[in-house]
Structure 1
Amino acid sequence: MFQIENLGEAKFKSPLQLSTVRGDNIFNFVSDSDKLVYDLSMDAYTNCLTNNQEPHCLEKAGPRQHLHFDPKRTTAAIVTCGGLCPGINNVIRGVVMALHYFYGVKRILGVPYGYEGLNPGMGHGFMELTPDKVKDIHQFGGTILGSSRGAQSVGVMVDTLVENHIDILFTIGGDGTLKGADSIGEEIQKRGLDIAVVGIPKTIDNDIDIIDKSFGFETSFDIASPILRDAHNEAKGAYNGVSIVKLMGRDSGFIAASAALAQPVVNFVLIPEQHFNLYGDGGFLEALKKRLEAKHHAVIVVAEGAGQHLFAKEEVKTDASGNVQHDDIGIFLKDKIKEYFKETFPVTVKYIDPSYIVRSAAANSGDSVFCSGLAYMAVHGAMAGKTKFVVGRVNNKFVYLPISAVTKKRKKIDLESEFWFAVLQSTGQPFML
């Protein structure tokens, strides 16, 4: 289920001066046989015992004693794709530093503007990445390599890797990027090439399946938190004041829900996972009316993908990455609230959309630590010859996962989970709207 593919024999001794002995106070090399159990529940444990089965296990991430690639002859490339996210520069920096200082890899290329940079027809060329060039980039948001959305010819991209003697391709991106990386890996495999493809999951929405969280997510709701505080001040500043804050979350509402928990002044959280009705008994507008009658102010946080069922759509449009383009739920709610209360009592509605400020921020301390760990573990796996894998944390441990395992579906909030129940307890909103 979670088997990691390897390019071949690992015959080069690692330059890392690590140990293989427990108790000598030196970090030990990790073996491919070091596994971590995926499902830690008692039910899963009992089921394995009853059926005499081994549990599903994940390959532990970390430095291997022997490498597939000779560091002195290795060329690596890094590409960043999709929307911006806090921490991309941290990951780029971490990969470059690990390749250069841990393993002595001297030729590291930056691929400009996403997968476009692997298409020579776009004319972007490559950027040489050195420790001096990346040493300060973690202080800034965005990506020094630039990014883009949309697919390029897999054959052309693999041709580019071959022509430039690239041995390892590090892809930093979300669901679409990772699927692209898997396709590149498949083409490499068909051609019998000795090139590793590595994924480092990036999505501000935290919707990559299986892994605990993706980098940048913690920063996103950290940045959103003071915005919610200020939205609360705006709402309280008017009699029957309503503040609507729209946060990112195309298919999953993790940012909206987490920000509301971090800044517990929010009264309603609307997410894509939960359909809600506007009108009628138990509907959102009726619940908002009760809130205003009781407290005379309200703060609403809505994820961008929430409430799309309320729009009459003749056709579904997608962006260059294949993501469904959603209608603006924030403006829609603002208009519907004003319309609903026009005949009831006057309200003052303020609408705030900080989406692009949030996603272009620099990583906070927690994400910065996380990004470095992801980068280092990605480099260790790549140098050992592992391919078509992503690095992530599962059950709070760094592991390697097949790209195909994490791209089967998007991770979403479980409405019966403790997490969502905590949100409902914090906001006081009804279980169903």
Structure 2
Amino acid sequence: NDLSTIDKTFGFDTAIAEAASVIECAHVEAKGAPNGVGLVKIMGRTSGHIAVSAALANNDVNFVLIPESPFDLHGEKGFLAVLERRLKASNHAVIITAEGAGQEHRPSDDAAGTDPSGNVRLFDIGVFLKEEIERYFKEKNMELNLKYIDPSYIIRSVPANAGDSIYCMLLGQYAVHAAMAGRTAMVVGLYGGDYVHLPLSAVTSRKKVDINGTLWRATLAATGQPAVMRNES
């Protein structure tokens, strides 16, 4: 859902629904063991739209980590200390991380490079968090039962739900109408609730989660996580 100008990209609702189902499984696993932690990595290379929306759709999530909100791991206000306090208070936690979150923690000897598609190769934040959480609680001599789930390909491969199917059909119809009218260098999209023709230049930049906006504030209220997990704040 990170195309600028457009209200919603096709497939977004399906992705949220599938991610919410995975989060529910992570929540069940977390509650089923002492100091249980369900850690789920969700799609989102440069923005946290899916992670945020899936967390709001499920409402069992305690931490959402997104690229737009960097965090410290260690220190009193860092993520690991906040997680420790959560486990001591509630005995379980569910963590959602967008795949592009926490890239500031990439080791200095881990060169980024690019994947076969030409995208910058991301540092695997999911595996990194799993290992760091396990190491932290082992050093604290605290019991931990962590389950790590990466459902990215499952979410990408499911059929579109009814809402997305209708949306895609309408986009296709309007695209054909635009082509028959001689329009070029444009895309059909929802803008302000209406289907409109937009120049390609209007949708080529990335739309981010506004960490001062309503969506992120609603996420903080739902999860109970600190607005900032940085020691200098």
Instruction: Give the structure-2-normalised TM-score.
Output: 0.95
Residue of structure 2 aligned with 1:321, choices 106, 117, 131: 117
Say whether the 8 Å CA contact 2:29–2:36 is kept in structure 1.
yes
Cross-structure match for 1:105: none
Whole-Å Cα distance in 2 between the matches of residues 410 and 318 of structure 1?
A: 19
By how many angstroms is 1:232 displaced?
0.4
Percent identity for Structure 1 against Structure 2? 55
Greater C-alpha Rg: 1
2:208 equivalent to 1:412 = yes
| Residue matched to 1:279 | 74
Q: CA deviation at 1:259?
A: 0.5
| Partners of 1:272 and 1:385 in 2: CA distance | 40
In structure 1, distance between residues paired with 2:169 and 2:108: 43
- Give CA deviations for 1:186-240 in whole Å, capped at 9, x if unaligned: xxxxxxxxxxxxxxxxxxxx11111011100110010111111111010011100
Which of residues 142, 145, 168 is equivalent to 1:371?
168
Q: What displacement does 1:320 show?
A: 3.6
Alignment of 1:78-227 (within 5 A): 206-227=1-22
Take 1:313 and 1:396, find their aligned partners in 2: how far apart are those partners? 45
- 1:425/1:387 Cα in 2 relative to 1: closer, same or farther (>3 Å)? same
Task: Compute the displacement of 1:324 (Å).
Answer: 1.1
Q: Distance in 1 between matches of 2:156 and 2:4?
A: 20
CA distance in 2, matches of 1:380, 1:347: 57
Q: Does 1:300 align with 2:95?
A: yes
2: CA distance, partners of 1:323 / 1:397: 32
Matched AA of 2:174: M
Distance 1:236 1:373, change over 3 A: same
Between the aligned partners of 1:369 and 1:319, the Cα distance in structure 2 is 33
Structure 1 segments, 4+ long, off by >3 Å, are none
Shift of 1:313: 4.1
Which of 192, 217, 237 is 2:32 aligned to? 237
**Other structure's SS at 2:72 match:** coil
Runs of at least 5 residues in structure 2 that lack an aligned partner in the other structure: none
Provide the secondary structure at the position in 2 that maps to 1:246.
strand
- CA-CA distance at 1:328 after TM superposition: 1.1
The reply to whether residue 359 of structure 1 matches residue 156 of structure 2 is: yes
> Which residue identity lines up with residue 215 of structure 1 in the other structure?
F
Structure-1 separation of matches of 2:208 and 2:228: 18
1:323, 1:210 → 2: CA distance? Answer: 23
Cα RMSD between the aligned structures?
A: 1.0
| Alpha-carbon contact 2:35-2:145 (below 8 Å) kept | yes
Tell me if the contact between 2:63 and 2:223 (Cα under 8 Å) persists in the aligned partners. Answer: yes
Residue 423 of structure 1: which of 212, 216, 219 is its match?
219
Contact 2:64/2:96 (<8 A) preserved: yes
Choose from 105, 125, 135 the match for 1:310: 105
Q: Output the CA distance in 2 between the equivalents of 1:353 and 1:383.
A: 43
TM-superposed CA distance for 1:312, in Å, is 1.9
Give the number of equivalent residue pairs: 227
Q: Which amino acid aligns with 1:318?
A: T
SS of the equivalent of 2:146 reads strand
Calculate the TM-score normalised by the size of structure 1.
0.52
Q: What stretches of structure 1 of length at least 5 have no aligned partner?
A: 1-205
